Amino acid sequence: MTRTRRRRTATGARWRLVTGLVAALALTGCTAATAPAAPTGPPPTPQARQLADAVTLDGAVAQLEALQRIADDSGGTRASGTPGYERSVDHVAGELRAAGFDVSTPTYEVDDDTTLRNVVAQTRTGDPGAVVVTGAHLDSVEDGPGINDDGTGVAALLETATRLGGSPEIDNAVRFAFWGSEEDNLQGSTGYVDGLSGAERDAILLYLNADMLGSPNGGYFVQGGAGDGRSETGPPGSATVARTLTEELSATGVTAETIPFVGDDDAPFVEAGIPTGGALTGDADRKTPEQARAWGGQAGEVFDRCYHSACDDLSNVNRTLLERYTTAIAGTVGRFATGAAERPSSG
- CATH code, domain with 206: 3.40.630.10
User: Helices (DSSP H) in 12-122: which residue ranges?
Assistant: 13-27, 46-54, 57-72, 83-98
Return the percentage of the chain with pLDDT > 90, whole number.
Answer: 86
Of the candidate ranges 33-42, 144-153, 309-318, the one whose mean pLDDT is the lowest? 33-42
Q: How far is CA 155 from CA 94, 185, 321, in A?
A: 14, 22, 13
Determine the pLDDT at residue 345: 82
Mean pLDDT of the chain: 91
With contact defined as beta carbons under 8 Å apart, do 194 and 268 qualify? Answer: yes
Choice among 182, 183, 248, 257 that is catalytic: 182
Residue 130 lies in a domain: yes
Residue 29 lies in a domain: no
Number of structural domains the chain divides into = 1
pLDDT digits (tens, 9 = 90+) for 34-81: 445 567 789 999 999 999 999 999 999 999 999 999 999 999 999 999
Residue 152 lies in a domain: yes
Residue 117 lies in a domain: yes
Beta bridge partners of 127: 172
Of the candidate ranges 13-22, 171-180, 225-234, 332-341, the one whose mean pLDDT is the lowest? 13-22
Return d(Cα 334, Cα 247) in angstroms, integer.
13
Nearest to 324 by CA among 159, 166, 161: 159
Rounded to the nearest angstrom, the gap between the alpha carbon of residue 189 and the centroid of all alpha carbons in its chain is: 13
- Domain extent at residue 134: 42-337
Is pLDDT above 80 for 281?
A: yes
With contact defined as beta carbons under 8 Å apart, do 307 and 34 qualify? Answer: no
State the pLDDT confidence band at 2, using cuts at 50, 70 and 90: low
Residue 333 lies in a domain: yes
- 301 annotated active-site: no
Residue 261 lies in a domain: yes
Return d(Cα 46, Cα 335) in angstroms, integer.
9
E-only strand ranges, 292-334: none
Mean pLDDT of 163-167: 98
**DSSP helix/strand/coil, 38:** coil
Is pLDDT above 50 for 9?
A: no
Residue 251 lies in a domain: yes
Residue 6 lies in a domain: no
